């Protein structure tokens, strides 16, 4: 007020007008629904894993941040490779007919493997001349070597996405630049080195209306993780010990990141099988699907899925398999 | 001055005597949450003229409860509801329209079940019970930064003046932008206090319920790290009621942590394909969506 030498009433009025201007427009939910129907395709990228697509309401949603998290070697990169391929396919085959930006922070991207997935899953398309080359040519792979490279490439991402008709952004994996020391020191109010990148990914998804898929790593539980509220702690005696042992892995990047993603798919293994669990999704039930990794990528063993009740849907297990010793895929022909 | 004159003077200044307040409170309708048990610990449901904070870990069902309330506030007066509209302020992007449609259908099917003879009498009433009309009654704002969040709360006063039938404002979640982008904690506290005061004032003057969804964080207390709602200790004073959603074994539970008139209590509840319902209800969660 003193800056503008204006009275209180004028200042209040100015605040009102600015707020009205700065406020985003209002829409009714019905208008949102009609827009969704009009856009067709349900606004989804189908993963071709029928059970998972049905649980997610058609597939990976556009304009939202989807996270894929699991222990190393379980199949997250295989999943991302298949998604990248699917997005390049023409719409008649269920794709988005566009380019893909694949940010590969751990040098796991293998074009040979992706073509193989394509040939085995869509033999009729890939038999056509030159199509494999065209599809592969639509995937832009970036390999940032450090956190600052990653941040820099993200800053230019908005322009890249809009200029090149990109229909899918994959970051595999977003936790690569986080060391465990970095993370442990950031409980409470975060000075998280990745904080900016994470919120940027989410806003970019909304702005460009494309799906953004990120893969995340796991880390072992530490004493810094809280699990109970103060009112719960009073009642529990010594139950904590038993609970801790059940799930000894947690997703990296902390609870703030867990709140920020819209959909979280947990890949885990136990009892000799691997599962994809829909751990967080505003519109899906809590189900787990057993899967295997074949030459044609990830295949679900059971489209019905298994209902999972309780907090188990968010836990990540890694038992019963020596994942480090496994090949990237089992040759089932 | 005689006591009567003093009372008269205070009344003119906007005070109210406690007896009048009590009769007013008793005639207030509450917004049902969909679960009878949850309504029970809340004293009938979400109260109008109060700010209720609901917090919990990711995936526990905060957005589900928010959407359920946005639908339930629209239940017509004939069927025991408020017949009002809802404002849904979405800061995280978890408002998925197909799910809202599904919950609206679930609400309508429950109404038909409890009031089978009603819609025989009034055929016009039946036409209004379509999921589309419930969706049309939700005013949706998508907020992408804390500036927009402040702007929308400032703008609400004018909006509410134009749309007098709004009876609930839901902010999902109030935390998100303030955790990501704010470095100055003291400023953050001041801004948040200002926002909560404005919301409190709006709820009282327009007779609506304000529901704020909050995230969790870990805090070091009593020798160990525990979960607590985000935004700090000063924020925890800003709300009239606080409900914490948590996992107890395999069930979702709600704990009423703060209320001016009700005792602390907890109760289980469930999220089904129809929305938020009592725990142990038989409706299977899995139904094909659209």
User: Is residue A13 situated within a structural domain?
Assistant: no
- pLDDT exceeds 50 at position B277: yes
Average pLDDT over residues B138-144: 90
pLDDT in tens, B175-227: 888 877 677 888 888 888 899 999 999 999 999 999 999 998 888 877 777 88
Q: Where are the alpha helices (DSSP H) in B85-219?
A: 97-114, 118-121, 123-128, 131-136, 146-162, 176-180, 185-205
Residue A41: pLDDT band with limits 50, 70, 90:
low
Q: What is the mean pLDDT of residues A114-140?
A: 83
The CATH code of the domain that includes A298 is 3.40.50.300
Residues in Cβ contact with A303 at an 8 Å cutoff, skipping those fewer than 6 apart: A50, A51, A54, A289
Distance from CA of B4 to the nearest CA of A (A): 35
Summarize the confidence of residues B261-266 as an average pLDDT.
90
> What percent of chain A has a predicted confidence (pLDDT) above 90?
14
pLDDT tens digits along A52-76: 998 888 889 888 899 999 988 888 9
End-to-end Cα, chain B, rounded Å: 70
Residue A330 domain flag: no
Establish if B11 belongs to a structural domain: no
Within-domain flag for B92: yes
Residues 14-73 of B with CB under 8 A from A: 57-59, 63-64, 70
Asked if residue A102 is part of any domain, the answer here is: yes
For chain B, give the mean pLDDT.
85
| Per-residue pLDDT, B222 | 76
User: Is B284 within the bounds of a domain?
Assistant: no
Does the residue B205 lie in any domain? Answer: yes
Count of domains forming chain A: 1
Interface of A with B in 210-229 (CB under 8 A): 223-229
Cβ atoms A150, A103 nearer than 8 A: yes
B74 vs A contacts (CB less than 8 Å) = none
Q: Is residue B134 part of a domain?
A: yes
Is-contact A178 A137, C-beta < 8 A?
no
* CATH classification of the domain holding B149: 3.40.50.300
Q: Is the ipTM of this complex over 0.85?
A: no
Residue A1 in any domain: the answer is no
Domain range holding A100?
53-180+191-222+247-312
CB distance A28–B251 less than 8 Å? no
**Closest B-chain CA to A186:** B218
- Identify the pLDDT of residue B134: 92
Instruction: Give the confidence band of A242 by pLDDT, cuts at 50, 70, 90.
Output: very low
How many folded domains does chain B comprise? Answer: 1
Q: How much is the pLDDT for A164?
A: 83
Which range among A231-240, A321-330, B269-278 shows the weakest confidence by mean pLDDT? Answer: A321-330
For the ranges A7-21, B44-58, B194-208, which has the lowest average pLDDT?
Answer: A7-21
What's the pLDDT at B288?
41
pLDDT of residue B115: 79
To which H or E segment does residue A188 belong?
none
Amino acid B253: pLDDT = 92
Kindly state the percentage of chain B with pLDDT values over 70: 91
- Is A257 within the bounds of a domain? yes
Does residue A68 lie within any of the structural domains? yes
Q: Is residue A267 part of a domain?
A: yes
Q: What is the DSSP letter of B209?
A: E
B14: in domain: no
Cβ within 8 Å, pair A280-B58: yes
**Which pLDDT band, with edges at 50, 70 and 90, does A235 fall under?**
very low
The closest CB to that of A33, out of B59, B97, B181, belongs to B97
Residue A286 within a domain: yes
Question: A8 to each of A14, B65, B195, how far by Cα in Å?
Answer: 10, 40, 19
Q: Print the domain residue range for B92.
A: 29-116+125-278
Residues facing B242 on adjacent strands = B53, B258
Share of chain A above pLDDT 70, in %: 82
Over 50: is that where the pLDDT of A272 sits?
Answer: yes
Measure CB to CB from residue B138 to each of A15, A29, A54 and give the nearest one: A29
Contact A326, A318 (CB under 8 A): no
- Cβ-contact A323, A73 below 8 angstroms: yes
Chain B CB contacts of A26 below 8 Å:
139-141, 159
Does any domain span residue B265?
A: yes
Residue B3 forms part of a structural domain: no
């Amino acid at each position: 007020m003193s800056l503008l030498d204006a009275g209180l009433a004028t200042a209040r009025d100015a605040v009102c007008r600015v707020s009205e201007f700065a406020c985003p427009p209002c829409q009714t939910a019905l208008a949102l629904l009609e827009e969704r129907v009009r856009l067709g395709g349900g606004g989804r990228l189908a993963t071709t894993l029928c059970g998972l697509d049905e649980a997610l309401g058609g597939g990976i949603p556009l304009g939202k941040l989807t996270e894929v998290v699991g222990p190393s070697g379980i199949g997250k990169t295989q999943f991302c490779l298949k998604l990248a391929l699917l997005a390049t396919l023409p719409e008649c085959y269920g794709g988005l007919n566009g380019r893909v930006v694949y940010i590969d922070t751990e040098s796991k991207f293998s074009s040979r493997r992706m073509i193989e997935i394509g040939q085995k899953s869509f033999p009729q398309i890939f038999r056509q001349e030159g199509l494999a080359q065209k599809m592969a040519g639509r995937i832009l792979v970036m390999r940032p070597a450090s956190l600052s490279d990653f941040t820099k490439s993200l800053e230019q991402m908005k322009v890249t996405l809009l200029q090149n008709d990109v229909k899918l952004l994959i970051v595999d994996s977003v936790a690569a630049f986080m060391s465990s020391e970095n993370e442990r020191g950031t409980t409470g109010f975060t000075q998280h080195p990745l904080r900016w990148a994470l919120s940027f990914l989410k806003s970019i998804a909304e702005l460009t209306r494309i799906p953004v898929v990120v893969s995340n790593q796991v880390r072992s539980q530490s004493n810094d993780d809280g699990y109970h509220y103060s009112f719960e702690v009073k009642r529990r005696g010594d139950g904590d010990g038993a609970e801790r042992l059940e799930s000894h892995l947690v997703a990296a990047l902390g609870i703030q990141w867990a709140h920020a993603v819209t959909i979280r798919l947990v890949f885990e293994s136990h009892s000799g099988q691997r599962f994809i669990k829909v751990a967080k999704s505003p519109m899906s039930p809590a189900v787990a699907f057993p899967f295997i990794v074949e030459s044609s990528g990830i295949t679900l063993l059971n489209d019905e899925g298994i209902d999972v009740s309780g907090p188990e849907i968010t836990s990540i297990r890694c038992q019963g398999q020596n994942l480090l010793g496994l090949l990237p895929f089992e040759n089932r022909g | 001055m005689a006591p009567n004159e003093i009372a008269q003077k205070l009344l003119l200044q906007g005070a109210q005597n406690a007896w009048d307040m009590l009769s007013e409170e008793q005639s207030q309708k509450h917004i049902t949450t969909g679960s009878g048990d949850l309504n029970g610990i809340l004293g009938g449901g979400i109260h109008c003229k109060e700010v209720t904070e609901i917090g919990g870990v990711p995936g526990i069902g905060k957005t589900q409860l928010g959407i359920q309330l946005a639908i339930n506030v629209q239940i017509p007066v004939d069927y025991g509801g408020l017949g009002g509209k809802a404002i849904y302020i979405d800061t995280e992007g978890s408002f998925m329209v197909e799910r809202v449609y599904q919950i609206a259908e679930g609400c309508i099917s429950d109404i038909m079940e409890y009031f089978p003879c009603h819609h025989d009498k009034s055929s016009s009433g039946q036409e209004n019970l379509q999921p589309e009309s419930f969706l049309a009654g939700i005013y949706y704002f998508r907020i992408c930064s804390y500036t927009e969040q402040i702007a929308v709360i400032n703008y609400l006063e004018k909006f509410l003046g134009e749309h007098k039938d709004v009876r609930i404002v839901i902010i999902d979640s109030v935390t998100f932008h303030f955790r990501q982008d704010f470095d100055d904690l003291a400023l953050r506290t001041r801004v948040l206090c200002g926002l909560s005061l404005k919301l409190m004032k709006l709820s009282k003057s327009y007779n609506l319920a304000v529901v704020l969804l909050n995230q969790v964080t870990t805090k070091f207390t009593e020798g160990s790290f525990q979960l607590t709602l985000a935004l700090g200790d000063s924020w925890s004073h800003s709300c009239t009621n606080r409900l914490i959603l948590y996992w107890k074994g395999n069930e979702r539970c709600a704990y009423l942590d703060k209320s001016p008139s009700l005792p602390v209590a907890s109760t289980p509840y469930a999220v089904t394909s129809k929305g938020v319902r009592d725990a142990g209800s038989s409706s299977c969660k899995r139904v094909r969506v659209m």
